[in-house]
């Protein structure tokens, strides 16, 4: 069996994941967002409602910069604000129903594309090997 260095495998893995991500984005025609906007939508989807200050902290940026991103998402109907029930001076931001629908549609499109790509590119034995490799990738992803 051919031996590969961890650095070589890591570099190939990074490049392959980047290419796969590009193809997944290209095959999901739902939301046309900047990376910053996508990051905010993803954060709100994973963590729920929070303030602009919370978003800015989570993404390591100034609150004013985050406010501009949030304004664009609000104007697009993807984010809605409501008063914080514990502090009426704060506004909590959450995904709109439209954003949730678009996220679901996009995920279904990407899953469909990926399933077709796996079927087209791999033999049944290779699909089984890929399934085993996903376990290994999960262990890598769990590293700090």
Q: What is the model's pLDDT at position 29?
A: 67
E strand or H helix that includes residue 75? helix 63-75
Q: In sequence order, what are the beta bridge partners of 18?
A: none
Q: How far apart are CA 33 and CA 31, in angstroms?
A: 6
Q: Is the pLDDT of residue 95 over 70?
A: yes
Q: What is the model's pLDDT at position 32?
A: 82
Fold of 32-95: Arc Repressor Mutant, subunit A (1.10.10)
Torsion of CA 94, 56, 21, 137, to 10 degrees: -100
Tens of pLDDT, residues 100-142: 999 999 999 999 999 999 999 999 999 999 999 999 999 999 9
Beta strands in 85-134 (DSSP E): 87-95
Q: What is the model's pLDDT at position 58?
A: 96
Q: Is the pLDDT of residue 97 over 70?
A: yes
Burial of 95 (0-12, 13-18, 19+ CB in 10 A): buried
Q: What is the model's pLDDT at position 36?
A: 94
At 18, the pLDDT band (50, 70, 90 cuts) reads very high
Do the Cβ atoms of 71 and 13 come closer than 8 Å? no
Q: What is the model's pLDDT at position 112?
A: 96
Look up the pTM and report it.
0.77
Provide φ and ψ at 2, rounded to 5°.
-75, 135
Q: What is the model's pLDDT at position 88?
A: 87
Tens of pLDDT, residues 45-86: 999 999 999 999 999 999 999 999 999 999 999 999 999 999
Q: Is the pLDDT of residue 30 over 80?
A: no
Nearest alpha-carbon partner for 121 in 32, 20, 3? 20
| Extents of the domains making up the chain | 1-30+97-139, 32-95
3-state secondary structure of 48: coil
């Amino acid at each position: 069996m051919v031996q590969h260095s961890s650095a070589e495998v890591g570099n190939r893995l990074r490049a392959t994941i980047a290419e796969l991500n590009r193809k997944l984005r290209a095959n999901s025609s739902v939301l046309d967002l900047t990376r910053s906007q996508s990051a905010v939508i993803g954060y709100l989807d994973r963590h729920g409602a929070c303030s602009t200050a919370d978003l800015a902290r989570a993404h390591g940026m100034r609150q004013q910069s985050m406010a501009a991103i949030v304004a664009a998402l609000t104007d697009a109907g993807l984010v809605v604000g409501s008063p914080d029930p514990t502090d009426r001076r704060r506004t909590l931001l959450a995904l709109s129903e439209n954003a949730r629908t678009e996220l679901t549609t996009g995920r279904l499109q990407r899953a469909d594309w990926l399933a077709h790509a796996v079927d087209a590119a791999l033999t049944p034995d290779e699909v089984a090997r890929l399934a085993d490799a996903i376990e290994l990738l999960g262990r890598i992803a769990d590293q700090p």
